[in-house]
Amino acid sequence: MTEQRVAVVTGASRGIGRAVATELAARGQAVVVGYAGSADAAAEVVRQITAAGGRAVAAQADVADEAAVAAAFDLAEQEFGGVDVVVHAAGRLSQSTIADLDLDDLDALHRTNIRGTFVVAREAARRVRDGGAVITFSTSVVGLQLPTYGAYVASKGAVEGLTMILARELRGRDVTVNAVAPGPTATELFLDGKDEATVERLAKQPPLERLGEPADIAEVVAFLAGPGRWVNGQVVRVNGGIV
């Protein structure tokens, strides 16, 4: 019998992270459902997975807190025997022109998106078993360079850079490291504060003429977390064809 793969997924209580957690569980992986503050939502994800016959536990962790992140990995090892897959889906979004940027917002983005990614990546580098996979999250806006996304794109550009270097630092361990960069995706985080006309305009950007769904992103993550062993050190833009 093949040993069950074990995934730690941050930001898994809602949106894309939740879709990733349930997709990995549906494909046979045990899942640690990482969350920052939404305990009830995380518990619901665990219930959904276990009701379908899967294995899951919830772990609260501020991704920028190294002790809390280490404890989530400890839980994976205690409950399921180890860690094979790390998906770092937790993130923060703030929009402003650079001229009007509130530096407190910049610091908050830096803490979650840059420091948080480094903390999770560091723990992954130390703990992921040979043959595993690490998936971080960037954004297709890095390439689109849309106004008001300067601080967010700066943080995600950092994520792409550290992801590529980690892929090379793990040489010899058969561990893949990739970043997934979604385009406009119908999540609560994305839709918040946008009027119907704005959402419609963004939905028309890709040639497929719709917003992405969390499941669209989760399918790509699941591929990278399992069968996609020859994709390594890449940023995969999952955006329906936006150039």
Length of the chain: 243
149 as an active site residue: the answer is no
User: Is residue 71 situated within a structural domain?
Assistant: yes
Q: From the candidates 61, 152, 170, 177, give the one annotated as an active-site residue.
A: 152
User: Is residue 137 situated within a structural domain?
Assistant: yes
Q: Which domain CATH number covers 41?
A: 3.40.50.720
Q: How many domains does the chain have?
A: 1
Kindly report the backbone phi and psi dihedral angles of residue 155, in degrees, each rounded to the nearest multiple of 5, phi listed first: -70, -40
User: Is residue 243 situated within a structural domain?
Assistant: no
What's residue 192's pLDDT? 78
**Which residues of the chain are under the pLDDT cut of 70?**
1-2
For 59, the domain range is 6-238
What's residue 165's pLDDT? 98
pLDDT digits (tens, 9 = 90+) for 153-176: 999 999 999 999 999 999 999 999
Query: Alpha-carbon distance 242 to 30, whole Å?
Result: 34
User: Is residue 50 situated within a structural domain?
Assistant: yes
Total-model pTM? 0.95
Only one residue has tokens 């106004």, namely: 147
User: Is residue 1 situated within a structural domain?
Assistant: no
pLDDT digits (tens, 9 = 90+) for 63-86: 999 999 999 999 999 999 999 999
